[in-house]
Structure 1
């Protein structure tokens, strides 16, 4: 039986787009952050790979004259390396399972591959954290270079000294962090109690 979603929200910000899917009764909530300009970055990376490798493959190129016996192997390795080094911006997802726990996942993939192949070859790195390991979910503040204050969403885990950052690559704005905080608290702890952060 397919899931029935309600209140599916997609909000575009300056640096990212946040998508929130909520199942009826909030048994399942998914928050995905996609960097803006993802397709543009993929296209630019592909153009860089094509131009770089076209320059390498040119027969007039004198760099490979001393490696005539291994020229095909060296050019193939350079092509593979240039494809592997240019990656897509990271897409992050936080999935909240009511009274069970949370799952974080992220995928970047290679710019030269289509999305379907990226999903197969570069499968998302997912981590499930059961509810009994989560002490609390917080919005914390930190200092970065030039004394700039940033806010980040994190989970305090039982038996660990470090916080588990929920969106480590794409720092969402504070208003979006509050929304995610409310959803996590409601699904994991509060049931029908009012939201803590407005």
Structure 2
């Protein structure tokens, strides 16, 4: 992931207001712990670059570093995976929802096969495909109070995904076993959302 984006995300998290209820605070702390672990793994290779950027106080989002190959697909994980802030993730036994993130270079044939498999899967109660452009639009709404962060993220940094409402809390493990090794699938994440909401909702 682009080091500049991580710096901006850290700043956005630092500016988050206090949550009004202890339950919501506990959920936010659990999500924050997961995000911190992911950031620590990603930071190992780029700690020196981040320190240099912080020292000079220059975050250049207009001209990000050039890289070969497809754009990174780590942005949604680092940015809360575009998950409703009321939900907890990752979850397994208690998952009510799931997100199936697709490889950046997925083919039309692979995407169609994943779609058909999910549509026919008994664990899936509701299924919705989300394009990169739709993911960006939702990201912009979720982080509207962090304009620097929003300006630094483009649609090609966000993967396509299938958003799933599970047909019962016990269904995630079996679904993950069936889906995670399919060609074109990057990863599947289980999400636990409160009753009456889902992982795609924007606060």
Query: What's the TM-score once normalised by structure 2's chain length?
Result: 0.28
Name which structure has the greater RCO, CA cutoff 8 Å, separation 6+: 2
Query: What's the TM-score once normalised by structure 1's chain length?
Result: 0.28
Rg: which structure is higher?
A: 1
More helix by share: 2
